[in-house]
A and B are shown apart, each in its own frame.
Chain A
Amino acid sequence: MSALVTEAAVASEGPDGRRRRRPVTGSLLVGGLIVALVLGMALLSFVWTPHDPTLVNSSARLQEPSLEYWFGTDKFGRDVFSQILMGSRTTLFVGFVAVGVAAVVGVPLGIVAGMGPRWFGELLMRGNDMLLAFPALLLAIMFAAVYGASTLVAMVAIGIASIPNFARLIRGGTLQVMKTEYVIAARAAGRGPFAIGLRHVLPNVSSLVIVQASVGFAIAVLAEAALSFLGFGTPPPTPSWGRMLQESQELLSSDPRLAVFPGVAIAVAVLGFNLLGDGLRDRFDPKLEDHR
């Protein structure tokens, strides 16, 4: 029994946090910084913008960038920099709504499909595949036609179209978790399916949810830009990066900077969310752990 005590003593010292702190990867860092920048811009726009972003000023139309107008002005004399700041709010709002709708429906759906009987899961997934085959933008345009064009309607549509991505991913994760011995142990302990789903499956697929959410965020931002560009997204006068792009197109040859600023903003934000998603996956995915 003395050997037992020795091991127990070592146990309490333990290799504390042996593998818990993984190095922060470049993509996580850069992605995080960009997302923080977008978030900072949105917060800033609540307290300060250089000019009123919706103020039409006919005496200051199509100004070049200057100290007064950092990014210049558009054809109505509105300050582009202020619009970019305000537009970041729309971008974040869009991401949260779309990802929220997709995750709130998709995650439970995936868990139920993974925990239920096999035929039930297959049935849900076939329905899922059908939804997956339907183009997200088309669904959003249909919604806009029926309910009127607004940011919220467009993003609920994008969210609905993103449900299958979540459901399929989470079902895969759930199937894996359900095969583990800790779930069998929980069943043997008398845990019901609801408790197993909530206490074991959900925490163990949460990293998948986070990764998919950041990728979905990027998709939603891009979709909002596309829809606003087509006129089915954010209606004027609310500033939106996508609509700024659309308004700039007739002046593309004379004033290309009007397209460059919102274009760069969209590209950087999408890149940021994608990098963040990648970085989070590297950090969370246990399957990648052994390969580094």
Chain B
Amino acid sequence: MAEQPTSVPLATPGPQTGPANAIDVRDVTRDYRRPRTSLRHPSPPVHALRGVSFAVPQGQRFGIVGESGCGKSTLLRILAGLDRPTSGSVAIDGRDITGLRERRLKFVRERLQLVFQDPMSSLDPRMRVGDIVGEPLIAQGHGNRRERVAELLEAVGLRADAADRYPHQFSGGQRQRISIARALAPRPKIIVADEPVSALDVSVRAQVLNLIADLVDELSLTLVFVSHDLSVVRHVCDRVAVMHAGQIVETGDTEQVYEDPQHSYTRRLIAAVPTLGKALSGVSAADLNQEYRP
């Protein structure tokens, strides 16, 4: 990590524990080409990620915070081997996955699973819950599917008979539990959660967050948790990286970043977290924006 291209505060990797980091991201960029709109000039590419580097040691709960459109979801897709970076490299458990063919990505599929933002669209409406949760097991050729599915449903707080029902018969929070059960099915070591609670009612958010935190502890998983909401990340994560416009602007222990933010963008994010005190003193979002503009 000698050549660190980002000028803003260094995205330093976390402390090395164990043989290899669960995730190692080095200088990843991802450009998207837009269709031409002019005959003379090609459209300028969109830089979704520009030189993102970070490392997540085994067992850490790593948060990534940033507003919508800052490249979080692109980063996740690259981490999961579902998209390729334009340059840079990603290693899962010390093995480089950049540029590998789908066939060679099998170990990523086994070790890393995703939980998505929208529990409506992340579960196939035409599949029974048992088949949804069991899908990774079929795909990876595990046996004893029924037992394992029942065990998983129980682990996320659903009854075993949920397996015979369809996703639309469940509430948002319950669907997110199904999604979590599916992610845990192949016994992954890394869970990547993309805004797993932002589509949920505030009342069930805490339950799902606690469930994720408990399962991560219990199964000693590595968690990468993406959110636009710093307070949610603070609830779950040990370390946090703040993303802005395709770059990581600040990394640190969650409490430290929260208490003593270094970058102006982080300060704005923290200021945007609503608190009772601010609400009582009549501060509105518009005021905050002006007050903290760099």
Interface on A for B, CB 8 Å cutoff? 1, 3-5, 7-8, 10-12, 14-20, 180-182, 184-192, 195, 199-200, 203-204, 206, 286
Contact of A184 among B114, B169, B177, B207 (CB under 8 A): B114
Provide the bound-state CA to CA distance between A9 and B15, in Å. 42
Contact call B135/A11, Cβ cutoff below 8 A: no
- How far does the Cβ of A4 sit from chain B's closest Cβ, in whole Å? 5
> Is the CB of B170 closer than 8 A to any CB of chain A?
yes
**Given A7-B204, A184-B116, A190-B139, A14-B165 contact (CB < 8 Å):** yes
Contact of A188 among B113, B204, B211 (CB under 8 A): B113
Closest 7 CB pairs of A and B: A190-B109, A189-B136, A181-B122, A8-B157, A190-B139, A203-B126, A182-B124
Contact call A190/B168, Cβ cutoff below 8 A: no
Provide the bound-state CA to CA distance between A182 and B169, in Å. 17
Q: Which of B113, B169, B186 has the most CB of A within 10 A?
A: B169
- How far does the Cβ of B134 sit from chain A's closest Cβ, in whole Å? 10
Chain B residues, CB < 8 A from A200: 124, 127
- How far does the Cβ of A171 sit from chain B's closest Cβ, in whole Å? 19
Contact call B124/A188, Cβ cutoff below 8 A: no
Provide the bound-state CA to CA distance between A192 and B103, in Å. 9
Which B190-221 residues have C-beta < 8 A from chain A? 204, 206-207, 210-211, 214
Chain B residues, CB < 8 A from A187: 82
Provide the bound-state CA to CA distance between A187 and B135, in Å. 10
> Is the CB of B20 closer than 8 A to any CB of chain A?
no
Contact call B118/A181, Cβ cutoff below 8 A: yes
> Is the CB of B182 closer than 8 A to any CB of chain A?
yes
Provide the bound-state CA to CA distance between A267 and B179, in Å. 50
Chain A residues, CB < 8 A from B121: 180-182
Contact call B114/A185, Cβ cutoff below 8 A: yes
**Given A4-B211, A5-B157, A11-B122 contact (CB < 8 Å):** no
Contact call B159/A12, Cβ cutoff below 8 A: yes
Which B162-198 residues have C-beta < 8 A from chain A? 162, 165-166, 168-171, 173-174, 177, 179, 182, 185-186
**Given A11-B170, A18-B169, A190-B106 contact (CB < 8 Å):** yes
Least CB separation from B168: chain A residue: A19
Chain B residues, CB < 8 A from A17: 169
Q: Which of B116, B121, B139, B162 has the most CB of A within 10 A?
A: B139
Contact call B118/A189, Cβ cutoff below 8 A: no
- How far does the Cβ of A95 sit from chain B's closest Cβ, in whole Å? 26
Provide the bound-state CA to CA distance between A191 and B161, in Å. 25
Chain A residues, CB < 8 A from B169: 14-18, 20
Least CB separation from B102: chain A residue: A192
| Complex A-B: 5 CB contacts under 8 Å | A8-B157, A181-B118, A185-B179, A185-B182, A199-B135
Contact call A11/B174, Cβ cutoff below 8 A: yes
Provide the bound-state CA to CA distance between A4 and B118, in Å. 20
How many contacting A-B pairs (Cβ < 8 A)? 114
Contact of A189 among B109, B173, B177 (CB under 8 A): B109
**Given A14-B165, A15-B169, A188-B158 contact (CB < 8 Å):** no
> Is the CB of B97 closer than 8 A to any CB of chain A?
no
Chain B residues, CB < 8 A from A15: 169, 171
- How far does the Cβ of B104 sit from chain A's closest Cβ, in whole Å? 12
**Contact pattern, B 124-151, Cβ under 8 Å of A = 1, otherwise 0:** 1111000010011001100000000000
Least CB separation from A16: chain B residue: B169
Contact call B158/A190, Cβ cutoff below 8 A: no
Least CB separation from A9: chain B residue: B159
> Is the CB of B80 closer than 8 A to any CB of chain A?
yes
Contact call B114/A188, Cβ cutoff below 8 A: yes
Chain B residues, CB < 8 A from A199: 124, 127, 135
Q: Which of A7, A15, A17, A199 has the most CB of B within 10 A?
A: A7
Chain B residues, CB < 8 A from A185: 114, 116, 122, 135, 179, 182
Chain B residues, CB < 8 A from A5: 157
- How far does the Cβ of A282 sit from chain B's closest Cβ, in whole Å? 17
Contact call A189/B207, Cβ cutoff below 8 A: no
Provide the bound-state CA to CA distance between A191 and B171, in Å. 27
- How far does the Cβ of B24 sit from chain A's closest Cβ, in whole Å? 19
**Given A5-B157, A182-B122, A188-B80 contact (CB < 8 Å):** yes
> Is the CB of B75 closer than 8 A to any CB of chain A?
no
- How far does the Cβ of A51 sit from chain B's closest Cβ, in whole Å? 49
Chain A residues, CB < 8 A from B80: 188
> Is the CB of B232 closer than 8 A to any CB of chain A?
no
Contact call A11/B109, Cβ cutoff below 8 A: no
Provide the bound-state CA to CA distance between A181 and B110, in Å. 18
Q: Which of B110, B122, B161 has the most CB of A within 10 A?
A: B122
Provide the bound-state CA to CA distance between A186 and B122, in Å. 9
